[in-house]
């Protein structure tokens, strides 16, 4: 769990199909007798944590600068000459530079706030003030669940306030300037309110359960936490597309016609258990396009954005994109990724159990008690270097999966249609045409278009 979520730049073209905290039910949060006094900060540990954050900010800013220079290149890569129109290139050029400048400002403000939170002891101060708010409400602040929920409520309010100006500017200035935003201000705030209401309804039971598990887990705590999170993720993967996603978008069955027949025939030929085929009204919010599928076992569903159907020149291009997505399913990419994430989650919980009772760790950051949620936050700070390495490794695997899914669609005979579809989506989404190799290697979970086209165009190797 992080104090503030850091946004990572999205890859140029994302058509990938993808289908701790701690607390005692009667929970007593142990307080020191001097509740008004916080432990002094251990500046060495705080400086080490903040120093690594700043070091990573400098490194990522260097990569951002390299990519910014790539955005400013006046010509297309040779591979895309004659493939991407000059008009689309110029629009992409302007859009990419706008987003890049905004990203520099956003990341600078974020690192300032995160560093201030560490150096000025805002985290322990905020924890104590959240306890005071529980008392003001006439509740028992010694109950760790109530205290934690009050803390998370404050964090949510803080995040909404600090993120709102950036979200508004991104949506109603940058996205609108380049023709992507379709939202009204009312729809924007309605979505935000729905998200808050869902967090208020879903969050407390999950937080309470984690608190109880940590307090009662004993030597098998890591396994109990992992099992709980595994079950929770499976439930959310089932519930989200059926109950939550429809609160924000309208899902309608793909009308009968040639496109539906072609997709159903493709799914049948691969023995993909397609149960339902939907179109989602993505155009009500943005003209960006996407496609995804979800579901377990023999209850699979495919969702197409209406913008995807509108942007592709013919049905074959849409079917080729679906063939790529079915390649992920046929090659078990989603399962491999899910298993890898579960292993990493178990290892992370195992690491957390090693430090959760470390009084020195809590005192180093100014805490005179050892709340479960705070322990998870502090643990996240200690493993930030590993998180960056793991993220980089997962990106490498993800890019390899993308090439394999493209090759799968090519083997089915969709090479030219997939090529045309990828180019069309790159143009319509105004995705970056020029990419810096270091930047894309570090950030992108999908290969740049130039690399994907080169792989599609490469002659098949004949077996000896």
Q: What is the C-alpha to C-alpha distance for residues 173 and 171, in angstroms, rounded to an integer?
A: 6
Name the catalytic one among 406, 427, 436, 451. Answer: 406
Closest CA relative to residue 23, chosen from 356, 345, 374, 371: 371
402 is known to lie in a ligand binding site: yes
Task: Please report where in the chains the tokens 């955005």 appear, as a residue.
Answer: 71
Rg of the chain over CA atoms, in angstroms? 24
For residue 314, CA distances in Å to 262, 282, 290, 295, 327 come to 12, 19, 16, 27, 21
Task: Please report where in the chains the tokens 């149960």 appear, as a residue.
Answer: 275
CB contact at 8 A, 92 and 71 = no
Helix (H, G, I), strand (E, B) or coil at 179: coil
Give the ranges where 120-181 is alpha helix by DSSP (H). Answer: 122-136, 144-169, 176-177
Residue 406 annotated among the catalytic residues of the structure: yes
Residue 325 annotated among the catalytic residues of the structure: yes
Q: What is the C-alpha to C-alpha distance for residues 304 and 306, in angstroms, rounded to an integer?
A: 6
Q: Which structure tokens are listed for 433?
A: 């045409």
CB contact at 8 A, 104 and 64 = yes
For residue 409, CA distances in Å to 162, 264, 310, 337, 396 come to 43, 15, 21, 20, 21
Q: What is the C-alpha to C-alpha distance for residues 372 and 167, in angstroms, rounded to an integer?
A: 31
For residue 96, CA distances in Å to 84, 174, 185, 300, 380 come to 16, 10, 24, 36, 32
Residues with Cβ within 8 Å of residue 105, at least 6 apart in sequence: none
CB contact at 8 A, 30 and 369 = yes
Buried b (16+ CB within 10 A) or exposed e, 426-452: bbbbbbbbbbbeebbbbbbbbbbbbbb
Helix (H, G, I), strand (E, B) or coil at 34: coil
Name the catalytic one among 60, 325, 368, 428. Answer: 325
Which residues are annotated as catalytic? Answer: 325, 406
Query: Which residues are documented as binding site for Zn(2+)?
Result: 324, 328, 402
Query: Which residues are documented as binding site?
Result: 324, 328, 402
């Amino acid at each position: 769990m992080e104090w503030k979520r850091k946004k990572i730049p999205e890859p140029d073209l994302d058509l990938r199909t993808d289908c701790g905290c701690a607390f005692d039910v009667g929970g007593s949060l142990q307080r020191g007798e001097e509740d008004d006094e916080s432990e002094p900060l251990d500046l060495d540990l705080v400086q080490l944590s903040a120093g690594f954050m700043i070091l990573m900010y400098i490194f990522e800013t260097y990569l951002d600068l390299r990519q910014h220079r790539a955005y400013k290149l006046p010509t297309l890569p040779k591979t895309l000459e004659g493939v991407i129109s000059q008009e689309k290139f110029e629009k992409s050029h302007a859009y990419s530079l706008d987003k890049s400048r905004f990203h520099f400002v956003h990341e600078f403000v974020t690192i300032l706030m995160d560093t201030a939170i560490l150096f000025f002891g805002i985290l322990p101060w905020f924890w104590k003030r959240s306890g005071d708010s529980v008392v003001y409400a006439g509740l028992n602040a010694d109950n760790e669940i109530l205290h934690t929920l009050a803390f998370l409520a404050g964090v949510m309010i803080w995040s909404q306030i600090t993120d709102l100006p950036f979200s508004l500017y991104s949506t109603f200035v940058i996205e609108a300037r380049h023709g992507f935003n379709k939202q009204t201000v009312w729809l924007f705030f309605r979505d935000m309110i729905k998200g808050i209401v869902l967090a208020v309804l879903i969050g407390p039971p999950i937080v309470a359960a984690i608190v109880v598990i940590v307090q009662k887990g004993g030597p098998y705590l890591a396994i109990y936490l992992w099992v709980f999170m595994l079950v929770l993720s499976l439930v959310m993967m089932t519930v989200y597309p059926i109950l939550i996603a429809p609160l924000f978008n309208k899902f309608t069955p793909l009308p009968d016609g040639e496109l539906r027949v072609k997709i159903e025939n493709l799914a049948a030929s691969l023995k993909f258990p397609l149960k339902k085929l939907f179109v989602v009204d993505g155009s009500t919010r943005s003209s960006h396009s996407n496609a995804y599928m979800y579901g377990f076992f023999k209850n699979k569903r495919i969702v197409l954005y209406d913008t995807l159907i509108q942007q592709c020149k013919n049905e074959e291009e849409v079917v080729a994109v679906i063939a790529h997505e079915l390649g992920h399913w046929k090659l078990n990419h989603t399962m491999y990724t899910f298993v890898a994430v579960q292993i990493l989650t178990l290892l992370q919980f195992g690491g957390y159990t090693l430090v959760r009772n470390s009084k020195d760790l809590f005192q180093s950051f100014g805490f005179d008690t050892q709340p479960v949620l705070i322990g998870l936050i502090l643990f996240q700070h200690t493993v930030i270097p590993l998180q960056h390495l793991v993220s980089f490794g997962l990106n490498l695997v993800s890019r390899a999966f993308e090439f394999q899914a493209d090759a799968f669609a090519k083997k089915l005979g969709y090479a030219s249609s997939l090529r045309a579809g990828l180019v069309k989506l790159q143009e319509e989404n105004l995705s970056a045409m020029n990419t810096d190799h270091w930047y894309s290697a570090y950030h992108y979970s999908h290969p740049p278009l130039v690399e994907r086209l080169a792989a599609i165009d490469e002659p098949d190797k004949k077996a000896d």
